[in-house]
Amino acid sequence: MAGSFDGRVALVTGGTRGIGFGIAAELAARGARVCLTARKPDALAAAVKRLGGPDRALGVRGSADDVDHQADAVAQTAERFGPVDVLVNNVGINPQYGPLVQADLAAVRKVFDVNVTGALGWVQAVWRAGMAEHGGAVLNIASVGGLRPGSMIGAYNASKAALIHLTRQLALELAPGVRVNAIAPAVVKTDFAKALYAGKEERVAAGYPLGRLGTPQDTAKLAAFLLSDDASWITGECVTIDGGVTLGSFAE
């Protein structure tokens, strides 16, 4: 697959660590030039260096749900590398924990602003900046929490369900020039998900038929496939990548 993204330009939101950086690194290894967005300048600088420096990568600081930041990141990318061919909506937040009936509605609104409305804003930004004319591919990072209810992160789960439906809606509206897909990971070993497995990884992994938690590399390879020409007849899909955990109860 080396070279399968030669000449293409990718933009990955929240791309300095975890699933986002894993995808960015996979695309860069396959020839893409990549723009990363995040809030912390030091993390952006470090990630750009790891991807090969300014000839291969660009970091743009800002809040993912800020429309001015979205427009600026897309414009800077076009100036440095050319118009965006590939967009990865990876940013996700989860400030709400506990029963939804007791949730702070301001926190719930923020979850949806970033995880859903923000993702749509990024699609609008790249569409207006040239993807409408030259085509491209979009990948939204959802979650198995968007496929079934569970745990005490109901706002996050509901936002990911909305993102999955948004994926289908956009796939219909933007075809045939732009493909839009999503992936729904279970627990992947990242800092963002650490609370779900830290200090209990062996016990959590025992509930997965494949016997382990996911890694950023697992999700990156699936993402690269869905964004590549090998998936040119796939759009509007949400692909579950979960080690089998959503199959149901698992008995050893």
What six digits make up the tokens of 195?
Answer: 């609370």
Q: 128 — phi, psi (to 5°)?
A: -65, -30
Residue 232: per-residue pLDDT: 97
Whether residue 206 lies inside any domain: the answer is no
Whether residue 208 lies inside any domain: the answer is no
The pLDDT tens digits for 171-193 are 999 999 999 999 999 989 887 77
**Is pLDDT of 60 > 60?**
yes
Residue 1: per-residue pLDDT: 60
Instruction: Find the domain containing 99 and state its range.
Output: 9-186+214-241
From edge to edge, which strands make up the β-sheet containing 136-141?
Answer: 57-61, 33-38, 9-13, 86-89, 136-141, 178-185, 238-241
**Is pLDDT of 2 > 70?**
no
Residue 150: per-residue pLDDT: 82
Q: Which amino acid is at 40?
A: K
Q: What percent of the chain has a predicted confidence (pLDDT) above 70? A: 97
pLDDT band at 248 (very low <50, low <70, confident <90, very high): confident
pLDDT band at 78 (very low <50, low <70, confident <90, very high): very high
* Torsion sign over Cα 67, 73, 77, 79: positive
Whether residue 197 lies inside any domain: the answer is no
Whether residue 21 lies inside any domain: the answer is yes
Task: Report whether 142 contacts 163 (CB < 8 A).
Answer: yes
Q: 189 — phi, psi (to 5°)?
A: -75, 90
Cα torsion through 216, 222, 228, 231, rounded to 10: -170
Residue 203: per-residue pLDDT: 84
Whether residue 251 lies inside any domain: the answer is no
Beta-ladder partners of 214? 188
Residue 169 Cα distances to 42, 92, 113, 138, 226, angstroms: 36, 20, 18, 13, 17
- Domain count across the chain: 1
197 catalytic residue (yes or no): no
Residue 250: per-residue pLDDT: 46
Taking residues 58-62, report their average pLDDT: 98
CATH number of 14's domain: 3.40.50.720
**Is pLDDT of 252 > 80?**
no
**Is pLDDT of 249 > 80?**
no
The pLDDT tens digits for 124-174 are 999 999 999 999 999 999 999 999 988 799 999 999 999 999 999 999 999
The pLDDT tens digits for 3-57 are 699 999 999 999 999 999 999 999 999 999 999 999 999 999 999 999 999 999 9
Residue 44: strand, helix, or coil: helix
Q: 96 — phi, psi (to 5°)?
A: -105, 135
